[in-house]
Amino acid sequence: MAGTGQHRVTVKDVAVLAGISTATVTRVLQDSEKVIPETRARVMAAVEQLGYRPNPMARDLRHGNRAGAVGLVMSTFTNMYQAGVAAGAEKELRNAGLQLLIGSTDEDPTREPELARAMIDRRVSALMVMPDGNEREFLSPGHLFGTPVILVGRPAGGLDADVVMTDDDRGVEEATNQLLDLGHRRIAALAGQNSSFRAKQRLGGFRSALANRGLKEEPDLVVENLITPAQARSTMADLMNLASPPTAVLALNLGISTGVLLDRIENNRKLAFIALDESELSSGLHVTALVRDPEEVGRQAAKLAIDRIAQPELPARTITLASHLVRRGTGEIAVVDDREPLEMAQPK
């Protein structure tokens, strides 16, 4: 049943035991061509007896090095959104019999090229990349050697690649509209690095919601370049100390959402709050959140990869997944300021 435990069993061993040639063993294993049932049975028995397992590397090598593994470049493992994407992708690939090679840039985008390159060298069948938000182009087609690339999270101008993204602009617009409908006029928007595609996309949604109602943005309430939760947290303190503080706040990424939530708990704030992306705490504390399904994003990316491996000449596709607002309470708070409604300010 099991092998000897030492020597790796090869097709050759199986062939010898079954008393036939390696070609026939392969034929049985691929059940590609005609093999007489009796021969097939002998081969199967030998395979079983020796515990033979094919060597995927040798197979890949023979096949021009395209088959077994797919790469994923991410910027960090310890972000729930990214981890979710990886989980979804891995699941889908595993079902398709593919393996996942993962590398992380540790938030250092300059490492993206070398990481991608190392995977391409290893002849992954496809490469999924979650590029950092900044719109540099780091993958030049000349270095890809035909390796299909799937971009996760944002498109990249110079590259004719498949893309999976989420409609955060529309989602944020919907969230903003909900707040506007509740009467909020001073809505704070806290965003990440302003050079990033995602920050632009999300602020874009916020702005078009305002613009659609002919409202103008309040510059003091839009804060960009917040990198850490701690920054978001202290920004909230600053905002609430304004002469005319916001009555609602939109947190435009996961870290910011965490920071705002910490501030909210600590200072027992009551203003309306919509977070972006889910965490154990946003759901646990009934925070209204604009939610994307990271696992679904990962699954779709993997599907694109699998399709493209099967049909390399397919035109590039872009899949946009919907984000949706999960209403849990904090985003449904009307203007309940102990100060005065806008437009008729009067000193306290």
Query: Applying CB under 8 A, which residues contact a second copy?
Result: 2-3, 5-6, 8, 51, 53-58, 60-61, 65, 68-69, 76-78, 80, 83-84, 86-87, 90-91, 94, 99-104, 106, 117-119, 121-123, 140-143, 145-146, 229, 233, 258-259, 262, 265-266, 279-281, 284-285
Q: Under the criterion CB under 7 A, does residue 72 sit at the interface with DNA?
A: no
Q: Under the criterion CB under 7 A, does residue 4 sit at the interface with DNA?
A: no
Q: Residue 154 in contact with residue 198, Cβ under 8 Å?
A: yes
Contacts of residue 260, defined as CB under 8 A and 6 or more positions apart, other chains included, come to: 190, 232, 233, 236, 249, 251, 273, 275
Contact with DNA (CB under 7 A) among 45, 61, 211, 227 = 61
In the complex with DNA, which residue's Cβ is closer, 67 or 172?
A: 67
Partnered with residue 175 across adjacent β-strands are none
Q: How far is CA 295 from CA 75, 76, 283, in A?
A: 17, 16, 17
Query: E-strand spans in 23-168?
Result: 69-74, 99-104, 126-129, 149-152, 162-166
Exposed/middle/buried for residue 77 (C-beta within 10 Å: 0-12, 13-18, 19+): exposed
In the complex with DNA, which residue's Cβ is closer, 241 or 311?
A: 311
Q: Under the criterion CB under 7 A, does residue 27 sit at the interface with DNA?
A: yes
The partner in contact with residue 302, picked from DNA, a second copy, none with C-beta cut-offs of 5 to 8 angstroms by kind, is none
Stretch that binds DNA, among 23-31, 160-168, 209-217, 328-336 (CB under 7 A): 23-31
Amino acid sitting at position 54: P
- Measured CA to CA, the distance from residue 63 to residue 67 in angstroms comes to 8
Q: Residue 226 in contact with residue 192, Cβ under 8 Å?
A: yes
Given the DSSP bridges, would you call strands 288-291 and 324-326 parallel, antiparallel or unpaired?
antiparallel
The torsion angles phi and psi of 215, rounded to 5 degrees, stand at -95, 150
Contact with DNA (CB under 7 A) among 41, 58, 322, 345 = 58
Q: How far is CA 296 from CA 87, 130, 259, 272, in A?
A: 9, 14, 26, 29
Q: How far is CA 297 from CA 14, 83, 86, 89, in A?
A: 42, 11, 9, 8
The partner in contact with residue 155, picked from DNA, a second copy, none with C-beta cut-offs of 5 to 8 angstroms by kind, is none
Contacts to DNA from residues 186-225, by CB under 7 A = none
Closest distance to a second copy from the beta carbon of 123 (Å): 6
Q: Under the criterion CB under 7 A, does residue 22 sit at the interface with DNA?
A: yes
Scan for tokens 């949706």, then name that residue.
324
In the complex with DNA, which residue's Cβ is closer, 22 or 195?
A: 22
The partner in contact with residue 6, picked from DNA, a second copy, none with C-beta cut-offs of 5 to 8 angstroms by kind, is a second copy
Closest distance to a second copy from the beta carbon of 85 (Å): 9
Closest distance to DNA from the beta carbon of 111 (Å): 23
Closest distance to DNA from the beta carbon of 238 (Å): 57
Q: Under the criterion CB under 7 A, does residue 29 sit at the interface with DNA?
A: yes
Give contact residues for DNA (rule: CB under 7 A).
8, 10-12, 19-27, 29-30, 32-36, 38-39, 52-55, 58-59, 61-65
